Structure 1
Amino acid sequence: MKKWLSLGLASLMLGCASHSDVADTTAIEAAQPLSTMYDSTILSPQGQPLTLAQLATALKDADIVLVGEWHGHPGAHLMQAHLFAALYQQNPDMALSMEQFTRDKQHVVNQYLAGEIGEKTLIKEGKAWPNYSSDYRPLVEFAKANQLDVIAANAPKSIIRCIGQQGEGYLDRLPATERKWVAEQLTLGDDAYHAKFNASMHHGDEEKTKRQFAAQTAWDDTMAESMVDYLALHPGKQIIHVAGRFHVAEGLGTASRITARNPNLKVMMVTPVTEKTNVAEGSPDYTFEVMPLPTAYVDKDKMKAAMKAIYGRNKGIKCYK
């Protein structure tokens, strides 16, 4: 009964009655124009158009599927939900891993999955992202309905910000309990991910960039370690992990940190692109094209004021001395 209920929920989420229907009713061929921000077109790493069902089949043997997003993009979040359901249909032995919850809140996530607390408590005590209800609720509810684990994979934002201010040495000042909320080791060498990050920085302060990269890779290393440790305890499961595009694209971020910890794991990437952005030629990513998000700011002064307000909040964080 449980298996049939789970498959029914997966079919409902996909808007189909059977796996064969997925290709006919939910996948969008690459040749069709994008008419809304919910639409997407899927391509293989070789540039071949794929249906959603074909994408799921291509990812069948992956131990970990990393699905990127622009936070708040409706098309990216819809793709994550549809792909989660499609992967579950062909292999219900799955777990969901999320950038959007942190290790220190794993017990809160577990309480919610067990029905011990309600969603409002999850959002408040689990420090869910502001867009949880619109963008991440479908993923968590699908996992809950099908009794799948949800891995709160990330490091707490307060610790990451302190690393950004003080560098990787800040980790040595953390109490033992809090130190476990961040990866044991950070990847700080001059790899391709480091080079890509440095190229995105424009303030010209080398030491500041060094600290900021330590903070960036602390996210990736922690998420990678969380998934590798989970699979060590649950061999044979497939993980779908949702995270920001920069962490996923081209296998440079989280994927490279997973491989460094366990080279036997097969990691595959599904990365959003737009007509203005893409992945590097030869990258192993499966891609889905969506409409670009609206321009955030036209007035540069307003953009600077917004960034200044963000940095102002960061200055108020209390770090261990």
Structure 2
Amino acid sequence: MRRLNIDELPPVLADIMGSKKIIVAATGSQRRTYQPLIEALGIKDITWMKPKKVTFSLVKEDTFLIAGFDNPLCDMLLGGSKVSEDGIRLKVFRNPYNPEKRILLLHAKNKTEAQAVSRKISHYGKYSELAFNNGRNTYKGIAPAKNGIPVLSRTSPSILKPGDGKTIEDILPELMKSRIVFVGENHDRFAHHMNQLKIIRKMHKAGAKIGVGMEMFQKPYQKFVDDYLAGKIDEAKFLRQTDYYNKWRFDYNLYKPIVDFLKENNIPLIALNIDGDITRKTARKGIDNLSKNEKEQLPDQLDFSNELYRADLHKVFEIHTNEHNLKNFNQFFQAQTLWDETMADSAAKFLADNPNSKLVILAGNGHVRHGYGIPQRLYRRVKEPYTVIVQDEEIEDGIADFVLTTTKLEGEKSPKLGVMVEEKEESLVVNDVVEKGPAGKSGLQKKDIITQVSGHPIKTLADLKIALFFTKIGDKISIQILRDGKSLDKEVKLTDPPRFSPHLKK
């Protein structure tokens, strides 16, 4: 007989009772309340620990019991939970950092309720969630588990009849019913951004008071986003002060039509994302190694309990682990969760501050498909109806409310010089040149230091990208370089360069 894998078994109370040891996160007053029930679990090695002392690294190693739905660990691991009105309420979760371990979330109204249940709790080992009042069981449930070995079968095909497809105009009434509309994207697809703009424009024209939240901008730079929309700073300063090309890096021409429309129509743009330096550090070192200041920028609630989300991210991790020098999946999982929870938190704050507004959220398909990225995390906070749209994804059950299919659309692009560069000591050094590219034809060489482009000082790659953003294919621009300590001026005609090697940046 085949033995079931760990993910084919639902997390149940018997897993907790069968543990050799357990760490209980509880305050001193909680210990007095919960102790009778916890001791009734029959675990010999019980370590009591104050919630503030618990680290993510520690959670990975052991089976944990979180005392109280109002326990800060409930917020930081399971996304928070409304305090139960039951005498006793408990729920068993798989440990998100170690699938072989479990987490028991337990809430007791008082010591009397705990004592009443302690005498019978051992009879309920096969359940994942239980509720009691005055010692009487009022609810019992078993969490779903992954199916075993699939039986090969032929699924019914999805049939789409040409000409029967809906348009954005057709689904607009459905969108207008929701307070929140998520529109996914592949970041480098201009057609996707044009669809996003069309949805925003249609909702605005239909009379909806809307804000637009964008993954591409990060919370610390909201002031500069607001200043640009209000006309207080120009576009170049906006790109510099939001650190756009360091933090996001995709050609701003992809998003410019959307931002221009928001600016022209006084529509708020909400910078949804967490500071990228925090997620990068988390992905490599984990939340425990963030500084006090960095931890203060995290949202109040983090939910690591969604197993489908975790499994989806594991596939992404396996694809990108070498590309981004990522070595630890749990740290990558933490970083992605911070990313989605922060965007959900930023959106929730806008909705709370603007009770009469709808919100359109623009983010990568991976953050919205199946709902377990941003959508469910935002719903947990605001309980508002939402609609999810993804673009050019495979059509499968539950992926979204609508899937848009597009054809390739070429938009405006910033010209490229055809060089690979490296930032060194506040200067931009040329490491390689495409011989037949604009820079190569104009005589730029390895080890040249680019100091100016059309009179704009250049010290970083972002400076170069901003300077090129304000040019067009066919323009002739002046580039000032340092070569062997001497200043030289080069005239460069911007043309479509030959295809780059993957490592070339600009």
TM-score scaled to structure 1, two decimals?
Answer: 0.70
2:357 to 192, 213, 237: 237
Aligned residue number for residue 213 of structure 1: 333
- Decide whether aligned partners of structure 1 residues 117 and 199 sit closer, same or farther in structure 2, where only a CA change above 3 A counts: same
1:100 to 198, 205, 216: 216
Aligned residue number for residue 259 of structure 1: 379
Quick check: which one's helix share is greater?
1
8 A Cα contact 1:30 1:50, kept in partner: no
Residue identity matched to 2:172:
A
2:314 equivalent to 1:183: no
Aligned residue number for residue 367 of structure 2: 247
2:228 equivalent to 1:228: no
CA distance in 2, matches of 1:286, 1:222: 25
Question: Shift in Å at residue 286 of structure 1?
Answer: 0.7
- Decide whether aligned partners of structure 1 residues 108 and 278 sit closer, same or farther in structure 2, where only a CA change above 3 A counts: same
- Decide whether aligned partners of structure 1 residues 246 and 30 sit closer, same or farther in structure 2, where only a CA change above 3 A counts: farther
CA distance in 2, matches of 1:174, 1:155: 15
Question: Shift in Å at residue 237 of structure 1?
Answer: 0.7
2:287 to 165, 168, 172: 168
Question: Shift in Å at residue 132 of structure 1?
Answer: 4.8
8 A Cα contact 1:155 1:222, kept in partner: yes
CA distance in 2, matches of 1:261, 1:191: 20
Aligned residue number for residue 139 of structure 1: 258
Aligned residue number for residue 184 of structure 2: 68
- Structure 1 runs of 4+ off > 4 angstroms? 203-207
SS in 1 for 2:181: strand
Question: Shift in Å at residue 290 of structure 1?
Answer: 2.3
2:314 equivalent to 1:198: yes
Residue identity matched to 2:328:
K
CA distance in 2, matches of 1:95, 1:30: 35
Aligned residue number for residue 96 of structure 2: none
2:162 equivalent to 1:31: yes
Aligned residue number for residue 319 of structure 1: none
Query: Which of these two proteins has the greater Rg computed from alpha carbons?
Result: 2
8 A Cα contact 1:104 1:156, kept in partner: yes
CA distance in 1, matches of 2:380, 2:395: 22
8 A Cα contact 1:250 1:280, kept in partner: no
TM-score scaled to structure 2, two decimals?
Answer: 0.46
Equivalence map 1:49-68=2 (5 Å): 49-68=165-184
Aligned residue number for residue 298 of structure 1: none
CA distance in 2, matches of 1:97, 1:180: 22
Aligned residue number for residue 267 of structure 2: 148
Residue identity matched to 2:162:
A
8 A Cα contact 1:250 1:279, kept in partner: no
8 A Cα contact 1:249 1:285, kept in partner: no
Residue identity matched to 2:403:
T
Q: 1:22-63: CA deviations, max 9, x gaps?
A: xxxxxxx9836xxxxxxxxxxxxxxx6212211221110211
Q: 1:48-85: CA deviations, max 9, x gaps?
A: 62122112211102111111110110111110111110
SS in 2 for 1:287: strand
Residue identity matched to 1:31:
P
Q: Which runs of 5+ in 1 are unaligned?
A: 1-28, 33-47, 294-304, 311-321
Quick check: which one's strand share is greater?
2
Residue identity matched to 1:236:
N
Question: Shift in Å at residue 134 of structure 1?
Answer: 1.4
1:120 to 221, 236, 249: 236
CA distance in 2, matches of 1:115, 1:165: 39
Question: Shift in Å at residue 207 of structure 1?
Answer: 7.4
- Decide whether aligned partners of structure 1 residues 216 and 182 sit closer, same or farther in structure 2, where only a CA change above 3 A counts: same
Question: Shift in Å at residue 225 of structure 1?
Answer: 0.4
8 A Cα contact 1:63 1:267, kept in partner: yes
Q: 1:228-282: CA deviations, max 9, x gaps?
A: 11111111211111111100112121001111222x2112111012xxx414324
Q: Which runs of 5+ in 2 are unaligned?
A: 1-159, 410-500
CA distance in 2, matches of 1:100, 1:140: 11
Residue identity matched to 1:246:
G
SS in 1 for 2:231: coil
SS in 2 for 1:60: helix
Aligned residue number for residue 277 of structure 2: 158
8 A Cα contact 2:213 2:360, kept in partner: yes
CA distance in 1, matches of 2:307, 2:256: 35
CA distance in 2, matches of 1:63, 1:106: 22
Question: Shift in Å at residue 197 of structure 1?
Answer: 1.1
Equivalence map 1:84-99=2 (5 Å): 84-99=200-215
Residue identity matched to 1:226:
S
- Decide whether aligned partners of structure 1 residues 107 and 167 sit closer, same or farther in structure 2, where only a CA change above 3 A counts: same
- Decide whether aligned partners of structure 1 residues 30 and 211 sit closer, same or farther in structure 2, where only a CA change above 3 A counts: farther
SS in 1 for 2:176: coil
SS in 1 for 2:194: helix
SS in 2 for 1:199: helix
8 A Cα contact 2:214 2:272, kept in partner: yes
Aligned residues: 249
Residue identity matched to 2:259:
V
CA distance in 1, matches of 2:327, 2:242: 33
Q: Which piece of structure 1 moves more, 126-135 or 97-106? A: 126-135
CA distance in 2, matches of 1:78, 1:267: 21
Question: Shift in Å at residue 292 of structure 1?
Answer: 7.6
SS in 2 for 1:236: coil
